[in-house]
Amino acid sequence: GAGVMGGDIAAWCALRGLTVTLQDQNMERIAPALKRARAGFAKRIKDKLQLRAVMDRLIPDPEGQGATHADVVIEAIFENVEAKHALFAKLDAIMRPDAVLATNTSYLDPRLIAEGLPHPARFIGLHFFSPANVMKLLEIVPTPDTAPETLATGFALGRLLGKIPVQAGICEGFIGNRILKRYRAEAEALVRQGVAIADVDAAMRGHGGMTARVITSG
């Protein structure tokens, strides 16, 4: 998927030295991700040759051919179990038997996404947070069938990408979004009661949490 999340994950992987193929239904869907990636790279890289080298590692792939030789695929399509399940069934059939299948789902049960896969041991959840080039946390969510080697690969990839990999159990929202759900609800309740957004914002900044403006805007 070359949406905001998928495109930003791919761009960050390329920036960290990995060769990435970015797949979506057509080039029209991929082009905005490439444009956003170039703009982000240009802020970090002033040397034109280095910038070109990084962009060369981010390869548009509307046909999805890159999956056939990839070490890891990270799915970042919309949050629908049936759609994700169907995608992984296709990926499992064309990818190398030692390749890792990873979902970036933020709320869905990874067990349902992987249900019926011929090789469930290579399936895992890798939940990045948006914006993927800024947020440090990477939630690693194994299923009961995930092999130790797959879990280790998830942690190794997280460290390679400069993230803080943390293993999470399977539950709604995993760790980060499970916490977000509760303090977002409390912040919104305060606003509905008449507390000024600026006061909620200041309290959350003082506590070290997300700003109320982000919470109330969704």
User: Which residues belong to the active site?
Assistant: 127
Which residues are within 8 A (CB) of 105 and not within 5 positions of it... i.e. 6 or more apart?
75, 79, 84, 113, 125, 127
- Round to whole Å and give the CA distance between 149 and 134: 27
Structure tokens at 204: 């959350």
In the chain, the amino acid numbered 55 is: M
Asked if 68 and 94 touch (Cβ cutoff 8 Å), the reply is yes
Residue 138: strand pairing partners: 128, 165
Instruction: Identify the three-state secondary structure at position 57.
Output: coil
